[in-house]
Chains A and B, each alone.
Chain A
Amino acid sequence: MFKRLLVQLLIIVCLLLLGLTTQLYAKEQRHLVVLNWTEYLAPELIEKFETEFNIKVIQVYFTSEENRTEKLLENNGYGYDIIVSSAIDIGRYVKRGWLKSLNEEEIPNLKYIDISWRQGYAGAEKYAAPFARGTTGIVYRADLVKEPITSWQQFYQPVPELQGKISMTGDSQDYISMGLKSLGYSANSENLEQLKHVEHLLLSQKKHLRSHEYISVEADSAIVKGDVVASMIYNSDALMVKEHNENLTFVLPKEGGGLWIDSFVISAYAKNYASACDFLNFFNRPKNAALQSMYSYSAPANVEAVKLLPADFIDNPVIYPTAAELKNSEFYLPLSPQGQRQRNAIAARVLR
C-alpha cells in the first residue's frame, strides 16, 4: 500500500518536475513578432516592454508597403503577431482574413486613441490601433540646391541640377499618386488619360532618378552624404534624418502631399495574442505613446499623449502642418479593381 503510494508520489513528482521544466522552457521561448518599418518604434520602449512583460520582441522589417504585403503573402499572413500597417492596406488585409479585430477589454488603452482616427477607413476601425500620422513630401538639401524645392513638379520634372540626384520611394502608390498631384490631378485618380499622363511623366523622370528605393534615415544615408539632394519622404523620416544634417529641409509641396496614418494591427494568426494585446496596450499608455511620437517625429493618435508632448514638438509645422498647408493633401483611398490594375501595370512598366 505504502509502496504503491510511494510509486504514485514519485510519478507525481516526476510529472511535476517535467511540467515545471516544460513551463520554464516555454517561458524562455516567449516572443512577439512585429512586422514593421525600420527605425520606427522607439528602442527604449521595446526594451521596456520586453522587461515588463518578460517577452522577446522580434522585429521583422519591410521596406515598403508593397513589400509588407509580399511578406504577408509569402506565408499567407502567418508568422507575425503584430503588423504595422498603413490605413489603406488594413481593409485589404482584413478581407484576406489576416487580421484579428481588437477587443477594447483586452486592450484598455485603446480608449486614448482619437476615435476619428480609428474610423478614418471603412472596415478598419475594429482592427486598427492608429499610433502615428504624417504626410508624404519632399526632403532636400537646402545647401546643395540653388532653388528651393516647393512643388512636386520640380521633383517629377527635375531641373539639371537635380537630375541624377533624386530618390523616389519604392511604393507605386506613393510615386503614382504624388505624380498625379504634380500634374494637378487627384492622388486617387482613376482617369485613364491622367494615368497615361502620369505614366509618361514617371517614365521620363525615371532616367533622372538615382534610386527607386526608400531613402535611409541613418547617418550614412545618401542624402546626408549629398549623393542625393532631394527625395520623396515621409515627414517623420525627414525629421529623423535631419538629425544627421541640419541642411535637410522637408517640404510639403504646394500641390499637396499624401496623408497617412500608421496603425498597429494584430495578425489573425498571432501565436501570442495576449502579448500582442499587451504590446498594443503598452504602446498606448499616454507616456509611451508620447515617447514613441517624439522618437519618430510623428503626430500621435493618442489623445492623452498629445498633452504630454512639448510645445516645440506641437509647434513643428513639419509634424503639425497647418490646415492651409494640408489643404491640397490627400489620403490614399481604395480604388476600383481596374483602377488599381491600371496603376499596377504602370508600376510594372516604370519599375521594370
Chain B
Amino acid sequence: MKLSIKLPLLLLPITALSLTLVGYVCYSKLNQNAEDKTFKHATALQSQIISHLDSTIATACANASLFADYQTVRYFLLAADENARYDLMQRPLQKSLIDIQKAYPEYYEIRLILPDGFEDIRIVNRDIDNVTENEATRSSFRQLDVDKDINKHFAINPDNGELAYYLYKKIDLIDINTGDFSVKPKFYGYLSLTLDTSQLRKMLEENPIGTSGGIFLTDHYGNAIITPSHMEWANDKKLVAEFQAETVGHKRFHKLDLNGKSYYHTRDQVSNNILIHTLVSEDEILKASQSMGSVVLNTTVTMLLLSLTIILYLLRVQVLTPLKNLQLAFIRIGEGDELVQVPVTSNDEIGELNKHLNQMSLELKKSNDKILNMAFCDNLTQLPNRFMFHKNLKRAMKLALMDGTQLALFFIDLDNFKRINDTMGHQTGDELLREVAKRLASNLRGNDYIGRISTENETNHLARLGGDEFTLILQDLDSHKDVIPLAERIIESISLPYSFAGQDHYIGASIGIAVYPGDGDNTEDLIKHADLAMYQAKANGKGNYHFYSAEISNLAIQRNKLEQRLRKAIKDGAFELNYQPIVDCQNLNTRSLEALIRWKDNELGLVSPGIFIPIAEDTGLIHEIGAWVIDAACKQLKAWQDSGAKDISVAVNVSGKQLEKPEFFEQIRNSIRHSGIKAGTFYVELTESAIIQGKPEVLETLRKLRNMKVMVALDDFGTGYSSLSYLKNLPIDILKIDRSFCQQLEEKNNNILLSAIITMAQALNLKVIAEGIEEQEQFDFLKQSGCDMLQGYMFCQPQTIKECTKRLRDEKHITG
C-alpha cells in the first residue's frame, strides 16, 4: 500500500478517535456540569426561597407578638362591654392596625378573632369581601392548637380564593378591671395576620428552571401549596408517592420516572410542615448540554474534516510530496541523470534525506564526470575522444539542421609524426601530440573564420581520434569557404618546429574537410568523407587541405575494390615482374635490372604499382607481395645467371613497412639462398622515408643485408628532407636521384644541385643512379657530371622477362 493511503488510513482513526473521545468527554462533562449547575441553581433558589419564607414567617411571628401586645388590643379585648368596645376601643385599635398594615402591607389582612371564632376586627388593604365573620365555620380555624402561642399555616383564603399564609397569635390577658393580678391569664382571642404569598409565588414563577421545571411547595403529605403556573403538571399523584419515598436533603438530584419521562428532583424542608421541591425534566437540564453536545459533535466533525484536510495537506506537502520528489530524484539518478538536486525546504528528516541525496548525487556526478572524462576524453591531450567526438558531431549536425547552417568537419592527420614517434620515442611523441593539441586549440581562439566555435568549450569541437588524428567541428558556417583561412593557419602552425630536448622537429598536417549538409547525412558518412578528403590532401602532397568531393569518394570506392582485387591477386598469383634496365653511363650497357611489379587484373586491367602499393602498404599486404617480388626476382636472376649473365644485378623495391618487419632479413636471406644467385648481384631499393628515421632495427637489418652482400640503394633521393650530410651515416651503397631532378634540370638550379649531389655521393663512395632520363640533354649533362648509371625511357622502358632476356642476349650478356 502506498504511504499516501497508508498514512491517512492510520491517521484517520487516530484523529477521529481522539476527537470523538474529546467530544464525548466534553459532552458528558457538559451533561455533568449542566446537572451540577442546575442542582446548584436549584438549591440556591430553594435556600433563597426558604430563607425568604423563614424570615417572612419569623418577622410575622415577631410582629404578631408585638401587635398583640398593643395597649389598644388589650383595651379592646378587656372592654367591659360591647358599647365600650365598639364605641371607644375599636376605632383606635383599627387605626393602630391600619398603621401597622401601612407599614407592613404584606399583612394584607389583620384580624382580631375572638376565642369563639368571631372575627371582631378585620383590616384589609385591598378590596376583599369578607365571606364570613365567623371563623368557627372554617376548619383551618378549628384546627388551631389553642396551646400554641402562634399557629401558622398555608391555607386558601376563602375571601379571595388565594393561597395565604396564616398566622394566629394567641392573646392571653389578665383582666385588670378585676384588680386581681394573681389570676391566670385568660385566652381572649387571636391576633391573626394573613400574609400575601404572591411574592413567594412570584419568586417561583420568575425562577423557572428550563421551561417546564422549577420550584414548588407542598405540605408534608405532598399536597401542593404553591405551584407556579408553568408547573401545574407537577401536581401528580404519582409524583407525590415518589416524594414520600425520598429522603430530604440530597447532595444530588434524585432521578424520577414519571409517565415515561425522566425528571430530576430534590427537596428540602421549609418549616415543619412545608416542603420545597425542585423538579426539572432531564431533557430540560440536558438540553443546553445536548445542544452544546451537538455543537461539540459538529465541531468535532468539522475539526475532524479540517484537521484531516490539514493533516493530509501537510502530509502531502511535508512528507509525501518530498518523498515523491525524492523518489523521482532517485529514479532520475537511477536513469542516469547526471546531477539531481532536490530543494531542501525543511529541517526535518526528509530535509536531511534530501541533503544527503543532493550530496550523493553530487558525488555521483563527480565520479560520473570523472568516468565520463575518462570515457569521453583523451587522456593525453584532454581533448574529447572518439566517442565524445561522435556525440558532439551528432549534436552539431542536429543544430546545423535546425538552424539551417553549415558545419565543417576537419579531419587532421599529422604528417611525419610516425617517424618522429619512431625515432624519438613515445614520450616525445606524446609530448608532440599535446603540443599539437595546444596549437590547434589556440588557433581556434582566433576569429578569422566566420562561425561559432564555442560558447562553451572549444575542446568540444576539437577531438583526438587516436594516434595522430585530430578532428575539428566548425559550426554556423555560411559557406564552406569560410573555413579555408583556419585550415591554412592550422597547417602553418603545425608545421612550425617543435623543440624537444634542444632539438627541433618538424611535422606537417593534412586536413580533409567534409561539409554538412552535402557531404553526408550521418556522422559516419561525414567522418568517412573527411577522412577520404584527408587522404586526398595527403595524396596531393602533404601539408595540404582538401575538401571532400564525390570524386574522392569514387577513388575510395576504387581503392576498396582495388584492395579486394589485390587480395585476390595475391591469392591467384596474378602479379608478374617487369624489369627496367639501368645502364652504364659510359657505354650504355645494361648493368642492372630494377624489378618492377606488374599487376594485370581481369577486371581492372593493368593497375599501376603507384596505386596498389600504398594500398598494400596500408593493408599490410605489402609483406606478402614484397616477399613474392623478392622471391620471384631472385629466381629470375638465377635463371639469367644460369644463362650466362653473371655481372647483371637485380634491384627490388622494398617499402619501409617491409623493412620494419623483423622477419624481413630472414625472408631475403632465404630467397637468395634458395635461389642460389651469385652474391652481390641482388640489391634493395629503399625510399628515403623508409630509412630516414634511422631506427636502429632498420639500420641493423640494412647492415646485415650488406654483410650478406646485398647492396642498399636509396630511392627517390631529393624528394624528402634528407640532407647529404645525413647520407654518410646511412648504410647505403647506391644513391638513386629522383626523376624530378633530371626532368627539371633547368629549374631552380637543379643542374648545379644535381652535379653537387653526384660529386658528393661519389665522394662518399656511393654509386649514383639518375632516374627518369628521357632526353639527350639530360643524358649529356649526367654523363658530363660523372653520374655512374642511368635509368629512363631514353634507354629502355620496363620490359617483360622475355624482352629483357632478349636485350641481355643482344648485349651479349647471355650467350646462346
Contact = CB atoms under 8 A, between A and B. Distances in A.
Nearest to B101: A352
Contact of A66 (B80, B91, B123, B124): B91
A73 B124 contact: no
Interface string B70-103: 0110010000111111111111101101100110
B84 A95 contact: yes
Given A92-B87, A340-B90, A74 B71 contact: yes
B739 interface: no
A334 B98 CA distance: 25
B75 A73 contact: yes
A96 B84 contact: yes
Interface string B116-143: 0000111111000000000000000000
A340 B93 CA distance: 14
A334 B84 CA distance: 11
Interface string A324-352: 00000000001101101100110111011
A352 B124 contact: yes
Given A92-B87, A334-B87, A345-B122, A73 B94 contact: no
Given A73-B72, A352-B124, A347 B86 contact: no
B124 A349 contact: yes
Contacts of A341: 82, 85-86, 90, 120
Given A345-B122, A352-B101, A352-B124, A73 B82 contact: no
A172 interface: yes
Contacts of A76: 75
A69 interface: yes
Contact of A92 (B72, B82, B88, B101): B88
A92 B92 contact: no
Contacts of A70: 91-92, 95
Interface of A is mostly: helix
B428 to A, nearest CB: 148
A70, A335, A351 — most chain B CB neighbours (10 Å): A70
Interface residues of A, number: 23
A348 B87 contact: no
Given A66-B91, A344-B91, A352 B84 contact: no
B82 A69 contact: no
Nearest to A66: B91
Interface string B574-593: 00000000000000000000
Contact of A95 (B83, B90, B125): B83
B75, B86, B95, B98 — most chain A CB neighbours (10 Å): B86
Contacts of A338: 82, 86
Nearest to A172: B91
Contacts of B91: 66, 69-70, 172, 344, 347
A163 B547 CA distance: 144
A73 B124 CA distance: 24
A96 B85 CA distance: 10
A123 to B, nearest CB: 11
A340 B102 CA distance: 24
B84 A69 contact: no
Given A66-B95, A351-B95, 11 more contacts: A69-B92, A73-B92, A92-B84, A95-B84, A96-B88, A337-B81, A340-B90, A348-B123, A352-B102, A352-B123, A352-B124
13 contacts: A70-B95, A73-B88, A338-B86, A340-B86, A341-B82, A341-B86, A345-B122, A347-B94, A348-B94, A349-B124, A351-B98, A352-B102, A352-B123
A-B pairs with the 10 shortest C-beta distances?
A: A337-B82, A340-B86, A348-B94, A70-B92, A344-B90, A341-B86, A337-B86, A92-B87, A66-B91, A352-B98
